[in-house]
Structure 1
Amino acid sequence: MQTTISCRKASPADIDALHGLIQNYAAQGIMLPRSKEALRRHIDSFFVAEEAEKLIGCGSLFRLGADLVEIRSLGMADGYKGKGLGTMIVSALIEEARAQQVPKIMALTYAVDFFVKNGFTVVEKEIFPEKVWTDCIHCSKKDRCDEIAVVRILD
């Protein structure tokens, strides 16, 4: 039996599953942790992917300035990498940025090839002081950050 994967805006009912997915990545040191309270406060910025009513992926859009948003907390459940799920979520986030009339989307990532395939360009992270002063100053890797910055300019 074939099931369909869908992508939608997150709701408060998704918080526990979102938290579990994000904490799995955070435990590996590849995503910043998010508390359930932070997820509650920012639930309207998240999109989730689900299959058979099970949350299997997520991503959020965080405003860094009038003309810049960041893709953050992009991840998927084990077994779903390489199946187009990440692209589905990023496409939804891009459409959300367009709806908000924000012309630039950035991300800090280890998955550079994925973002390049989705129309992003590698750039120096120092061109995003908004990000540095919002999150990076609180990160344990701030003095030795090994993530790569990518950006996409929307048309």
Structure 2
Amino acid sequence: MTVVCRKAESSDVDALHELIQSYAEQGIMLPRSREALDRNIGTFIVAEDDGRLVGCGSLCRLGNDLVEIRSLGIAGGYKGQGIGSRMVDSLIDEARSQRIPKVMALTYEVAFFQKNGFRVVDKEIFPEKVWTDCVNCAKQHCCDEIAVLKVIE
């Protein structure tokens, strides 16, 4: 198995949608329409194994000095092989190239992010996130996701 991480392309939209939808159906990721994925394809990276999309993640800019990792997922059968960490590294490299020093995520997989150098923080320190996405979320008043942050050089 040779998994390659690369920038997503328009031809990835259907596979991205399928992977994200599988997580959304479990209530652990926000759904994304094909149209929204196509519009934001430049923010996504994918992990690919022999032409098959097996992972994805994106960066969403929340301010001049803050981005969020979102839609981070791995296809069944590929978890636990370091692919998620490689994608996080790629996303952090992208934030670094854009000179954005803070990378955050809201997650149920706290140990994974801690293993990748993030620390747990109070989600209220991200008003950019609260007013961008949380204000429209069904879980707004009972959010059970944990906020994590990594400050990069």
How high is the TM-score relative to the length of structure 2? 0.99
Quote the residue 2:59 is aligned against. 61
Quote the residue 1:131 is aligned against. 129
CA distance in 2, matches of 1:80, 1:143: 34
Quote the residue 1:118 is aligned against. 116
Cα drift, residue 112 of structure 1: 0.1
Aligned partner of 1:75 among 66, 73, 76:
73
> What percent of counterpart residues are identical?
65
Give the aligned CA root-mean-square deviation in angstroms. 0.4
CA distance in 2, matches of 1:76, 1:118: 16
3-state secondary structure, aligned to 2:114: helix
CA distance in 1, matches of 2:21, 2:50: 22
CA distance in 1, matches of 2:144, 2:116: 21
User: Deviation string for 1:36-77 (max 9, x for gaps)?
Assistant: 010011000000000010000000000000000000000010
Aligned partner of 1:109 among 101, 107, 110:
107
Aligned partner of 1:92 among 90, 93, 96:
90
Provide structure 2 residue ranges, at least 5 long, that are not aligned to the other structure.
Answer: none
CA distance in 2, matches of 1:148, 1:107: 8
CA distance in 1, matches of 2:110, 2:40: 26
Aligned partner of 1:30 among 28, 31, 34:
28
3-state secondary structure, aligned to 1:59: strand
3-state secondary structure, aligned to 2:81: coil
How high is the TM-score relative to the length of structure 1? 0.98
Cα drift, residue 80 of structure 1: 1.1
Cα drift, residue 14 of structure 1: 0.1
Provide structure 1 residue ranges, at least 5 long, that are not aligned to the other structure.
Answer: none
CA distance in 2, matches of 1:85, 1:5: 8
Cα drift, residue 17 of structure 1: 0.0
Aligned partner of 1:9 among 7, 10, 15:
7
Cα drift, residue 81 of structure 1: 1.1
CA distance in 1, matches of 2:57, 2:100: 17
- Aligned positions, number: 153
3-state secondary structure, aligned to 1:142: coil
